[in-house]
Chains A and B, each alone.
Chain A
């Protein structure tokens, strides 16, 4: 897609998101906040899937590690170190992902890896459910939105919409870092591994090491999303790590388009929009969600982002395709004739 169009769209959507609290209903705003976090979570998942070709079904476990860590620390009164806490949560998620990946990636891949990660996150959830110190099934409520100081400036996120704006900025920062990582040599090597692991290995690349790096990075950002989520919802429960939560980034990614960096975010927002629009249609929610998914998979296998780039491409046939996004899209397309 034309980089200029892309930049304009990006700036426009950022502005709309930042201005939302001024005019939308608080319920919708809450949903948007959750969606932003879930979008980042999905981008982190796609870092593993779209770029390294590995599917994890246990990302919800990493999300809840970040969320629980933040919840416990904030409830213990560590507000002042809020920014540091985000980093430590991410480190914790990264560490767990690294340890799991170090063992799992040596032994399994594909569907086996998917089920292995699913089982591990289920074990974590069962553990969280029976631990009274962190609230067992009811979870940890009353998480404060922190106020802290940076140098001499005092930042208070507990009032009005300030936490929403902070959430937007923090998520933008995480997305920017992921974008930068994926467009660095690391990202290019990962894509090479996805397309042809054997040939890449022949070129002297340590395939296992790169996969492990992707697995760890994905864990870092999943936990980061969780850490930002805790003060937004102000409650965390063990269900954050259940299978439904782990499947969500997958749905968002495929709906939006795995071949595009922005796909998962687009998917998350589209999904939430559908959900909000149909919220009063009691009793047929599953059918609606299922039907939409099915149509997307059958009609637009490259997701909304893929369909959109093709649409723009058709409008402007003379425009050369950009380096990013659509080039991966075409790669996937050749892979799936």
Chain B
């Protein structure tokens, strides 16, 4: 039981790492970014090229992940300049399709560069194996993922709520026009937010890499889960996404234990349930 909870938290935090960037870009640009999963995957492939099948140490993995985050962040700026900026005033559905197109191109390019074969990167020596936590055996990598998730959450909260830059971003996401009138350089801040969002995707890709098998469909797997997470949490809310990630992780874990014959259905049913009970998400704002 305790193990199941820890494991659900691991799943939840893994998804949160991906979903954080997704909800950030929504908060600022009102874009549900279909390409987010694809850039998560690019981050993972980049790191796998840097560290090979077996990273020498946790530090090396983290450094590679940060470097990948930086590179993917730069891609984000390019996407922002070439695509998002031009459609940001259009109907939200057009933005959706634009990011869908970016996703297709991204997956196509990944296939050309890295091929179709499955790739695998093992956890660095420090994160292999596990420890006994009371009566249960807990893999070290699970702890690593949970710690990363919580750290990412605290950091984002701190930055957005406490720092000057965070306040600017929050102001802009509340009312873009007002922020502009107040003399805020909205386009520049927009770039910063998009860059950060993509960088988060890349970082998540690198950190979760030892957890997953790399293939060109890796993006899809996480995309749906993170969509569910940010929708249940309330679009644009980091806190909501954090709560929702834990909640959906628990639902999935409960599903695996209580209804082993129909695995994987719980998430969808939970999603439908939450959407009907709290149509704007747990911490979502009222829709206008």
Contact = CB atoms under 8 A, between A and B. Distances in A.
Answer whether A and B are interacting partners: yes
Interface of A: 49, 55, 103-104, 107-112, 115-116, 119-120, 122-123, 126, 130, 247, 250-251, 254, 283-287, 289-291, 293-294, 297-298, 301, 332, 335-337
Interface string B80-104: 0001001101111110011011111
Interface stretch (B4-12, B207-215, B272-280): B272-280
A301 B89 CA distance: 11
Given A120-B268, A120-B272, A336-B89, 15 more contacts: A107-B279, A108-B279, A111-B235, A115-B227, A119-B268, A119-B275, A126-B268, A285-B108, A286-B104, A286-B105, A286-B111, A290-B101, A290-B108, A294-B102, A301-B94
A336 B108 contact: no
B276 A283 contact: no
Contacts of A298: 83, 86-87, 98
A112 B98 contact: no
B276 A123 contact: no
A303 to B, nearest CB: 10
Contact of A247 (B100, B281, B287): B100
A279 to B, nearest CB: 16
Contact of B101 (A126, A283, A285, A291): A291
Contacts of A286: 104-105, 107-108, 111
B275 A115 contact: yes
B269 interface: yes
B112 interface: yes
Given A290-B102, A294-B98, A301 B90 contact: yes
Chain B contact residues (Cβ within 8 angstroms of A): what range? 35 or more
B129 interface: no
Nearest to B87: A297
A111 B32 contact: yes
> For the complex, would chain B's binding face be called helix, strand, loop or mixed by DSSP majority?
helix
Given A109-B287, A110-B287, A291 B100 contact: no
B150 interface: no
A202 B268 CA distance: 37
B98 A335 contact: no
A269 B288 CA distance: 37
Contacts, number: 111
B105 A294 contact: yes
A153 B26 CA distance: 60
A251 B97 contact: yes
A145 B279 CA distance: 44
Contacts of B146: none
Nearest to A121: B268
B268 A123 contact: yes
A294 B83 contact: yes
Nearest to B104: A290
5 contacts: A107-B276, A126-B264, A250-B97, A290-B103, A294-B105
B108 A115 contact: no
Nearest to B223: A243
Given A107-B276, A335-B91, A337-B89, A290 B111 contact: no
Contact of A254 (B97, B106, B112): B97
Contacts of B102: 290, 294
Contact of A111 (B100, B231, B269): B231
A287 to B, nearest CB: 4
Contacts of B86: 298
Given A110-B92, A111-B32, A126-B265, A293 B272 contact: no
Residue of A116, A247, A290, A291 ringed by the most chain B CB atoms within 10 A = A290
Nearest to B275: A116
A293 B271 contact: no
Residue picked from A251, A294, A335, most chain B C-beta under 10 Å: A294
Nearest to A124: B268
Interface string B241-254: 00000000000000
Contacts of B98: 293-294, 297-298
Given A115-B227, A287-B108, A336-B90, A103 B276 contact: yes
Contacts of B109: 287
Given A119-B228, A126-B265, A298-B86, A289 B104 contact: yes
Contacts of B101: 289-291, 293-294, 297
Contacts of B112: 283-284, 287
B93 A49 contact: yes
Nearest to B86: A298
Contacts of A294: 83, 98, 101-102, 105
A297 B91 contact: no
B111 to A, nearest CB: 7
B105 A290 contact: yes
Contacts of B231: 111-112, 115
Given A115-B231, A283-B112, A254 B275 contact: no
B218 to A, nearest CB: 15
Nearest to B216: A286
A114 to B, nearest CB: 8
